[in-house]
Amino acid sequence: MPIVASLALPRGWTDPLALPISGLLIGVFGIPHGAADHLVDAWHTAPDGAWPWGRPAFFGGYIAVLVAHVVLWIVSPAAAFAIFLATAVYHFGQGEFEYLGGRDPIAHVLGGDGGGTESRVTSPVLYCSRGLVILSLLVFAQPWHTFPVIEAISGLPMPAADTHSTAVLCTAGVVLGIAQHLALLAHLAHACRGRPATSPFISAQLAKTCGIAALFLTCNAYLAFSLYFGLWHSLEFFLTVTSTLHLPRSRAIAVAVVPLSVPVLAAIPALAAFDSGYSSDPAALWRAFIQVVSVVTTPHVLYLQGFVAARRAMYSVPPRSSPAGEVVADKAERPPRPVVADSIRRNDSGHGAVRQRSAAL
């Protein structure tokens, strides 16, 4: 809906909506989606249910990585920003394939397991290629919004946003960011031709690329990112976690993630107020958001890899195709798995949290 509306209205119409809607989406979906990491870690590292709320070692390691990234922001903002971009590219690209239910998109969808493919492309390459599409659109589509913020937080000199040379540079950045992914999809389509899952998969990726490009090219840059981050990336991750861990989608999630989300959310306006000298500067909120999110993204991405590996090991058969032709995950195809970590649930009457051992997935 935002894409359709923005195509019919003049540029800038979404600017007044950027801050309130972004704040809502980031607060409800964006930050909380990473606050479930302790449950995810317990699921694949403590299958006996010994630590349903998360292992002490997990919290110790998580906090250590957070502190290390904070120190890096103080010592070298440019290096901290570069690490954030690298992890974000990989993580956002990886999240684009959550709809496959944990399956490796190359090995199980395109036949990268040696079943007739002529491509040596690996899933990490596909993830990074996909993530570069999002990064190029966020950074270059609207430089008047993004360049001042990037310069302020990283210390890197950015060109003036209103010059002809900058327009050429940004156009090239967007075109190259999208073109490299289209070239990779074309390569995969050719290398894996003849396989039944290839055509639906490639078609789905092309449609998603067009949708993301339209969103970032027509909406306010930060509103576009918040819509993507909240309603696309984070919400899909929530659905994955609740399905895999057999958690209800309401109270259990709230009990698990709200206490850990509040400090992170509070840090954004606090840092913005300090950065702006306690003035009402919307740009300060975006600067603070990027810095705070970068700090929590690094451990989120690192610890998520164990969850990804554990889920991937659960599958031994290819996914099925939906009536629309797209490849989707099927719970019935999941092979047996030993009893997983206890999940913290709330009963329907709301009388408090109860511990309940999950059945085999």
- Tens-of-pLDDT digits for all 361 residues of the chain? 444 444 444 556 677 888 888 888 888 888 888 887 887 887 777 666 556 666 788 888 899 999 999 999 999 999 999 999 999 999 999 988 887 777 788 876 666 444 445 668 888 999 999 999 999 999 999 999 999 999 989 888 999 988 999 999 999 999 999 999 999 999 988 888 778 888 888 999 999 999 999 999 888 888 899 999 988 888 888 777 777 777 655 565 666 778 888 888 888 888 888 876 655 667 788 888 889 999 998 889 888 887 787 777 766 444 444 444 444 444 434 443 433 334 444 333 333 333 333 333 3
Distance in angstroms (rounded) separating the CA atoms of residues 309 and 51? 20
Q: What is d(CA 178, CA 229) in angstroms, rounded to the nearest whole number?
A: 19
- Rounded distance between C-alpha atoms, residue 188 and residue 126, angstroms: 10
Beta carbons of 307 and 41 less than 8 angstroms apart: yes
Residues whose CB falls within 8 Å of the CB of residue 127, separated by 6 or more in sequence, listed in order:
90, 93, 94, 96, 97
Q: Which of 299, 303, 333 has the alpha carbon at shortest distance from 103?
A: 333
Which of 233, 228, 135 is closest to 178 using CA atoms? 135
Angle made by CA atoms 38, 227, 150, in degrees to the nearest 5: 85
For residues 130 and 96, the answer to whether their CB atoms sit within 8 Å is yes
**CB-CB neighbours of 337 under 10 Å:** 16
pTM to 2 decimal places = 0.78
